[in-house]
A and B are shown apart, each in its own frame.
Chain A
Amino acid sequence: QSVLTQPPSVSGAPGQRVTISCTGNSSNIGAGYDVHWYQHLPGSAPKLLIYVTNNRPSGVPDRFSGSRSGTSASLAIAGLQAEDEADYYCQSYDSRLSEFFVFGTGTKVTV
């Protein structure tokens, strides 16, 4: 089971703002390791959405934003659209596990 915990699901109406939390501990997010977010649309491969807390790759709308505080990070989606319905995963590094890459448990966003 992952060391990064996300809520199984969040939902919102079109146009609303939703946030997804990613809760870790002192060996990952709390230790200052970078957090990234991926969007997994049905039938597609995951896609990099946010990197190093709050940076968007080219082509990602500015409706998506990230933040972090203490042992947690968050992804916010403003102006929710039907096309945002997908699974979202956070990702970081964990020094205790010595795994280069650890993923969150994933959150299903329903619009």
Chain B
Amino acid sequence: QVQLQQSGPGLVKPSQTLSLTCAISGASVSGNNIAWNWIRQSPSRGLEWLGRTYYRSKWYNDYAASVKSRIVIKPDTSKNQFSLQLNSVTPDDTAVYYCTRTTTLGTSSVFDVWGQGTVVTVSS
């Protein structure tokens, strides 16, 4: 059974960097036909996909246009985990952040495994 365990601070100051880590058990971060994502949820934005990393002979990343200029998602194969860095945060980045896995079911990628969620507040 695949499980994702999130860690990271719940409070970040404006203009600083939000950093979260997602430890994977029961699967490999380098696995084929899967990808590792970050999603956030807030009252103003609802559920918002932020980006993903995945391995297909080499590492790839895709990011949402809304955060593309300030987001980095990185795999760590030595620890079988991946991380989120979101730079220059503002109070609008306050949300519950989830790490998730996408896998292919039928003809689509679906979010089939989710982390427990981390409440992140951006405030001084």
Seen from chain A, the residues whose Cβ lies within 8 Å of a Cβ on chain B are 2, 34, 36, 38, 45-48, 51-52, 55, 57, 89, 91, 97-106
Residues of A within 8 A of B46 (CB): 2, 89, 103-106
Instruction: Count chain A CB atoms within 10 A of each CB in B46, B112, B114, B115 and give the residue with the most.
Output: B46
A-B contact pairs, 7 of them (CB 8 A): A36-B108, A38-B111, A45-B115, A57-B105, A101-B109, A102-B49, A106-B46
Which 7 pairs show the lowest CB-CB distances between chains A and B?
A45-B114, A103-B47, A101-B49, A52-B106, A34-B108, A51-B110, A51-B105
- Asked whether B98 is an interface residue with its Cβ less than 8 Å from the other chain, the reply is yes
- Residue of B whose beta carbon sits closest to that of A33: B108
Q: Which of B82-124 contact A (CB under 8 A)?
A: 98, 105-112, 114-117
* Chain B interface, >50% SS class: strand
Once the chains are docked, how many angstroms separate the CA of A48 from the CA of B101?
11
- Give the number of residues in B that approach A within 8 Å (Cβ atoms): 22
Among residues of B, the one whose C-beta sits closest to the C-beta of A50 is: B110
B62 touches A100 (CB 8 A): yes
Q: Determine the distance from Cα of A89 to Cα of B114 in the docked complex, in whole angstroms.
A: 15
Task: Give A61 to B55 CA distance when docked, in angstroms.
Answer: 34
CA–CA, A105 to B106, complex, Å?
24
- Residue pair A45, B49 in contact (C-beta under 8 Å): no
Which residues B25-54 have CB closer than 8 A to chain A?
Answer: 37, 46-49, 52
